[in-house]
Structure 1
Amino acid sequence: MDGGGRIAGPLKPGSARRDAGQPAGRRTPVPMREPAPASRTALLLRRITVRLGASRIGRRGASLLTVLVIGGFSVYGVILGGHIEEAESILVDVGDLAANAAGFKVRQVNLSGQNHVTPPEILAAAGIKSSTSILFVDADATRARLEAMPWIAAATVRKLYPDRIDISVVEREAYALWQFNGQIQVIARDGMPIAPYSDDPRYVSLPIVVGEGAEKRVGEIVEALGRVPVIRDRVRAAILVADRRWTLKMRNGIDVRLPQEGLDDALFQLSELDREKKLLTRDITIVDLRLPDRIVVRLSDSAFETRMQALKAKAKAKKGGAA
């Protein structure tokens, strides 16, 4: 362990371990394996470096000289061919090789805070490879790339010379499920989609919001329902209508149409009606709370037919009594 009580082992092949379930705060050292030569340029660099290294200028000097000479010719040739992006890539590779030859190769990367995101995914997003030099790691740009990942809300990148990088991430929490266009995604509190839905036990009990724009307003309905748990526990999904108001789809099939304003008052009123009148257990299909001065209830077809027959019988009895 290092002086801060953190895991800091040498980066040898096979020493990495998946830490999808480890507690936040622990650091995972990730090995940087030696890559196979990826291009003719890399092979040529190694061959010339070995040959020059046996001469009087020394191995490190030979490495630097070889990198600079061949790298310069390579970039010049690529630029003449009009391939600017490829030239930039070669420049990065040349810079890494030169800095690595000078002793600044990244040999250890400590990761902490990850749970859903795996170490290989973090390294890939950060752009850190086995050939990366610490001199050419832009901490701010690396942090921005990490924070662009759906699961990662915040990241910290620290360079510790000559060969170590510490990366700490804060992941978003799964807050709700969002259904739109036939797809269901897990979303964070800020509405960011972070994963496709699966039967993971962590997701099955999440509240469900439906419709375009519902992910951006998920907090208002989830928090409002949280203040009325007796209603919340009977809601199957909350549907955003025309980006203005919510309709609750209850588990027994009843639709509760909520007003655009006064969401908390409407939910409290609904809970009181259910407590006093057992409203949500009656044979109805819709409870409309959009009007401030009245509540509109629509009976189911069977209940409507029963009620109409009862009214006819009552009118008939009244007419017979009057005769």
Structure 2
Amino acid sequence: MRPLNEAPMFHRVSPIVMRVQRLGRKTVVWIRNVREMPLPRFRTLAVGLLGSTAVYGMVLGGHTTAVIDAVAEPLGMSIETVDVTGYAETSEIDVLQTLWMAGAQTLPALDVTAAREAIEAMPWIESATIEKEYPNRVKIALVERKPFALWQRDKDLWIVDHDGREIVPYATTRFTDLPFVVGPGAAREAADILDKMALVPELDQRIKAYVRVGDRRWDLRLDNGVVIRLPELDPIEAAATVMRVDRNEGLLARDIVSVDMRLSDRMVVKLTPAAKQRWDKVVKERDKLWKQAQKEKPV
């Protein structure tokens, strides 16, 4: 048989807990009173269930984070564990700090959407998934953006992703093996030119920099300093032509500065100053011999 002194205690607790939904900022006082009362186990469970219902009602009712925290914390819903996965370039501490900036100290008060948007605004983060695991755990799964190229814009150097979006300024000795693109629009068009040059592997492996010109076409700077000026249209065909001439004539090994392929009907080769001087000397000597031959020619 239930002791007689339990009935008053039950009736004394129930109204207090039920008032959680009605009292707003006074909730803390009532919850503390409840926790201090020597309740039997089944009644403690009843209080917890009613308290959880009250917290849920507050969340739906749009109460402030502080009010919800005040109700949820005594019920054991404080955030105690945060599991972060999927990070390599991002600091776990930065993720936790971003989460705490949301201001919530308990799971019911945590706005998952706002927290996710804040974390996804971090430089390396492509997407984030946040889950609440009651009573006190938060799970955060990250997907980071992949570094695709180094982009020089004026005097600034950025790490960019496949879509040409800036990730972070380049300030490390890492990622030196990434393709190097230069100029306005170069980051945005990098994936396209890299895919095209991959079709000309003999040339592709010698390219040190891709320079975007007028946001219309590309100059390719090779490992020996030679520049290949590609046309706006059919850059693959132009690049293939250069390599065909190189295989047959050793073009790129000569003393040249650039190979201009912008004109569809011709290739224009610019010599180095030293090579030009030698060539001018040859031409001058040839002209001299021709004039001398003309004078000695019988009338």
TM-score (norm 2): 0.74
Alignment of 1:160-171 (within 5 A): 160-171=133-144
CA contact (8 A) 2:128 2:142 kept: yes
Is residue 157 of structure 2 the alignment partner of residue 156 of structure 1? no
Aligned to 1:120: 93
| Cα deviation code 1:137-175 (max 9, x no counterpart) | 232332222222221112212222222221111111111
Aligned to 2:17: none
Q: Which of 186, 203, 212 is the matching residue for 1:231?
A: 203
Question: What is the distance in 2 between the residues matched to 1:51 and 1:172?
Answer: 46
User: How far apart are residue 226 of structure 1 and its match?
Assistant: 2.3
Structure possessing the higher radius of gyration over alpha carbons: 2
Q: Which moved more, 1:222-231 or 1:300-309?
A: 222-231
Give the secondary structure class of the aligned counterpart of 1:307.
helix
Q: Which moved more, 1:90-99 or 1:306-315?
A: 90-99
Give the residue type in structure 2 aligned to 1:279.
L
| Cα deviation code 1:2-48 (max 9, x no counterpart) | xxxxxxxxxxxxxxxxxxxxxxxxxxxxxxxxxxxxxxxxxxx99x7
User: How far apart are residue 314 of structure 1 and its match?
Assistant: 1.0
User: How far apart are residue 94 of structure 1 and its match?
Assistant: 3.0
User: How far apart are residue 292 of structure 1 and its match?
Assistant: 1.4
Root-mean-square deviation (CA), in Å? 3.0
Change (3 A) 1:302 1:142: same
Number of equivalent positions? 252
Aligned to 1:136: 109
Q: Which of 271, 276, 280 is the matching residue for 1:304?
A: 276
Give the secondary structure class of the aligned counterpart of 1:287.
strand
Change (3 A) 1:169 1:50: closer
Alignment of 1:63-82 (within 5 A): none
Give the secondary structure class of the aligned counterpart of 2:186.
coil
| Cα deviation code 1:81-103 (max 9, x no counterpart) | xxxxxxx9x93233223222222
Aligned to 1:284: 256
CA contact (8 A) 1:157 1:166 kept: yes
User: How far apart are residue 243 of structure 1 and its match?
Assistant: 0.9
Identity %: 32
Give the residue type in structure 2 aligned to 1:99.
A
CA contact (8 A) 1:105 1:131 kept: no
CA contact (8 A) 2:65 2:103 kept: no
**Greater share of residues in helix:** 2
Q: Which runs of 5+ in 2 are unaligned?
A: 1-26, 56-61
Alignment of 1:1-323 (within 5 A): 56=37, 91-127=64-100, 132-201=105-174, 203-322=175-294, 323=296
Question: What is the distance in 2 between the residues matched to 1:192 and 1:134?
Answer: 34
CA contact (8 A) 2:85 2:140 kept: yes
User: How far apart are residue 182 of structure 1 and its match?
Assistant: 0.8
TM-score (norm 1): 0.69
Higher RCO (CA 8 Å, separation ≥ 6 residues): 1
Give the secondary structure class of the aligned counterpart of 1:144.
helix
CA contact (8 A) 2:102 2:111 kept: no
